[in-house]
Amino acid sequence: MDILAELNPEQREAVEATGGPVLILAGPGSGKTRVITHRVAYLIKVCGISPRHIMAVTFTNKAAREMEARLYQLVSSSVKDLTLGTFHAICVRILRRDGKAVGVDPRFVIYDDEDQLSLIKRSLKEVGLDPKQYAPRAIASAMGAAKSRTVVPADYIQQGRSYFDEVVGRVYERYQQLLTESNALDFDDLLMKTVLLFRGSPEILSRYQTRYRHIQVDEFQDTNLVQYELIKQIGDGHRNICVVGDPDQSIYSWRSADLRNILSFEKDYPEAKVVLLEQNYRSTKNILEAASCLISANQERKAKGLWTNNETGELTTVVETYTEQEEAQFVVNEIERLVEQRGVRLGGCAVMYRTNAQSRALEEAFVRFGTPYKLVAGTRFYERREVKDIIAYLRLTQNPDDSVSLLRIINVPGRGIGQQTLAKLSNWAKSMGVSQYEALCRISELKDDEKPLFSPYITGKLVGFLNLMEGFITQSRELNLVALFDLVVESSGYREYILGQPDGEERWDNILELRTVAQQYRDLKPRDGLTTFLEGVTLISDVDGLDETVDTVTLITLHQAKGLEFPVVFIVGMEDGILPHFRSFDDPAQMEEERRLCYVGITRAKWRVYLVRAFRRSLMGSSTINRPSRFLDDIPRQLISGSSLWPGEEGQIASAVYSWNRSSAPSLPTDDSLPVQGLKAGNHVRHGIFGDGVVVSCQPVNGDSEVIVAFRGAGVKKLLLSFAKLEKVA
């Protein structure tokens, strides 16, 4: 196979640049995954580099799986010797092997977001603060930002400038102590601990530098400071670092991603070769031109001349509706029209939005019209209660010091162990400086003449749970993962417990699905299978489980949509305050990120884009009239096919987008039931074209009256009374 045969000249240049640092600026749809995989194959097959000396880093498990599949076709079995995975997965491997040098026990468990919040709430209480007064998520965000800069608690407390910093510092310090007691790391620790390991152990770093002669990093614009330092630490041994990314798609600053990493790469590596991938293979010419005009308004970027050999395609459709309900109805109706008249699959359509709250009106419309959909980042499989419970049993089996898992399942199923007992157990364990599991062990070892901590009844319940877990721990050394899984589910009483609930069958199906996942690890050695399984289910992300073969419409946030593609894309909420979000109004850097977010959404589309807004929107408890998104003004008129669902404007460019007087929005009535020129909600009317219908609402608008009517054959229509010529029937 000629590895270079299917590449365009720029892609070939990027693949063949194997010596020294390389910066590949890859526009959307330009084939960057193909370039990375072909670079790896080229290094192995042409340059003779052993796969063992190559590291390829991605940001999602989905991307890693796709890269692995492509590489298998190119280099076959050599894939198994590569170091390929996400930043977090690679750091887990490093810490399991060498983490002792920085105080990390190789048997550590990984706490996910829910576990982290649980431990933060406990930390707040233990430092004398009220979790209801100080938002745990805000504290988690502040701690995550600190860890992205490798700022440990002592330094954070010293650097604090505000009272909130003082609160975070106190919680951060106790939180890390509790993590250590539980032999646990959170996601941010995986990165920070690895960097601190390399800083403090040059001999260990040297070993990794010697091994990894070539490093490839995907989505480099999304790296934060600790990830950048990690790559620099390992890569400085040979300086064969190839980073691939696009500053125009940097949308994760809230996760501490630092755009400067890619913009300043050439300063840190002045000898770097820069390759531009500008040919787009995904979108039509019109979509690409609209996106390019939009993003060109940003200042913090590296200019690219995107182009494509694809067809010209249809213009971007800008649509204005009246409310978010009408916005959702338009989306559903248009998708159904595309399916029936244009042969589009439901699975080829995605509806994207800025905030999760926007999905409510959309979901209601899809349910009402019976159109199949899937909501990305609804309740994720691994966040479902029954799944978390079984995982907690298995985590506690692997690591008895895991206090979060212990507190989760010590009374699930119910064993008569209440919150007061658990609080007393926690305080006693804290006073002795041991884990809660070790405290249970000491309770079981008390002699008859020693003063008991609990009543004989409660002591018996606690010791019973301890004996149950001790049995699981013993069996985990002998049984494969599936056999251990079955033992836990049956012996704990969880199967009987879950099937006794009203929705028990559905929840039991989820447990069986988790067992299916466990079967992938049944051939590993007992303890190895358990450890690997727990790593896998903890590090998975929202889009990792997205099944693109299922024929349903995808509802997804713009942030989650990066890396995906669809034939048809709807972006709803194109209003100032929504997209761009109101929090960005006073921050030019944040405004540029909002524009990049819109750019990412548009460039997910292959052949059709709809930009939809509502004139009036109820969101987060209030109803507002929002201006059209300023980003619409960045797209030239000749690239837009506009329409408005306002009466009398069918087929025209949305007037409110381009000619609506933004300073004189119409006032809104407070009572839709008020009669308007003899009509009120519930009246039966007749229209010369639409036929018979029922009035849904009436309200005055700019000297006229707006009437919404549900017609028997024509559906819901919004009409101006002066033009509609409605006849009142009853």
What DSSP letter does each residue of 552-572 carry, written as one string? Answer: SEEEEEHHHHTT--EEEEEEE
What does the pLDDT read at residue 615? 87
Q: pLDDT by residue (tens digit) across 211-260?
A: 999 999 999 999 999 999 999 999 999 999 999 999 999 999 888 889 99
Q: pLDDT by residue (tens digit) across 351-409?
A: 999 988 888 889 888 988 889 998 886 556 777 889 999 999 999 999 999 999 999 99
Which is the catalytic residue, given 115, 189, 219, 592? Answer: 219
Backbone angles phi, psi at 534, to 5 degrees: -65, -35
What does the pLDDT read at residue 78? 78
| Position 115, amino acid | D
Mean pLDDT of 126-154: 91
* CA nearest to 216, candidates 469, 33, 349, 451: 33
DSSP secondary structure letter of residue 54: E
Signed CA dihedral, 660, 665, 671, 674: sign only: negative
Whole-angstrom CA distances from 457 to 64, 161, 415, 461, 597 are 52, 50, 11, 7, 58
What DSSP letter does each residue of 424-448 carry, written as one string? Answer: HHHHHHHHHT--HHHHHHHHHT--T
Long-range contact pairs involving 474-479 (C-beta distance under 8 Å, separation at least 24): 476/397, 476/398, 476/526, 476/527, 476/530, 477/526, 477/527, 478/526, 479/526
Establish whether 249 is a catalytic residue.
yes
- Which helix (H) or strand (E) covers residue 478, if one does? none
What does the pLDDT read at residue 111? 92
Mean pLDDT of 184-195: 96
pLDDT range class, residue 446, cuts 50, 70, 90? confident
**Quick one: what percent of the chain has pLDDT higher than 90?**
61
Q: pLDDT by residue (tens digit) across 401-412?
A: 999 999 999 999
Which is the catalytic residue, given 34, 174, 604, 717? Answer: 604
Report which of residues 656 and 525 the model is more confident about: 525
Q: pLDDT by residue (tens digit) across 247-298?
A: 999 999 888 889 999 998 999 999 999 999 999 999 999 999 999 999 999 9
Lowest mean per-residue pLDDT among 297-301, 639-643, 673-677? 673-677
pLDDT for 661 beyond 50? no
Report which of residues 721 and 106 the model is more confident about: 106
Mean pLDDT of 147-164: 92
Which is the catalytic residue, given 181, 188, 218, 402? Answer: 218
Q: pLDDT by residue (tens digit) across 325-348?
A: 899 999 999 999 999 999 999 999
HEC profile of 489-557: HHHCCHHHHHHCCCCHHHHHHHHHHHHHHHHHHCCCCHHHHHHHHHHHHHHCCHHHHCCCCCCCEEEEE
Establish whether 32 is a catalytic residue.
yes
d(CA 353, CA 613): 11
pLDDT for 451 beyond 90? no
> In this structure, what token pair is assigned to residue 204?
């260990």
268 alpha carbon, distance to own chain's centre? 30
Q: Considering the entire predicted model, what is its pTM? A: 0.76
Establish whether 219 is a catalytic residue.
yes
Report which of residues 448 and 428 the model is more confident about: 428
Which is the catalytic residue, given 33, 177, 355, 475? Answer: 33
pLDDT for 482 beyond 60? yes
What does the pLDDT read at residue 657? 32
Report which of residues 216 and 660 the model is more confident about: 216
Mean pLDDT of 9-25: 95
What does the pLDDT read at residue 704? 66
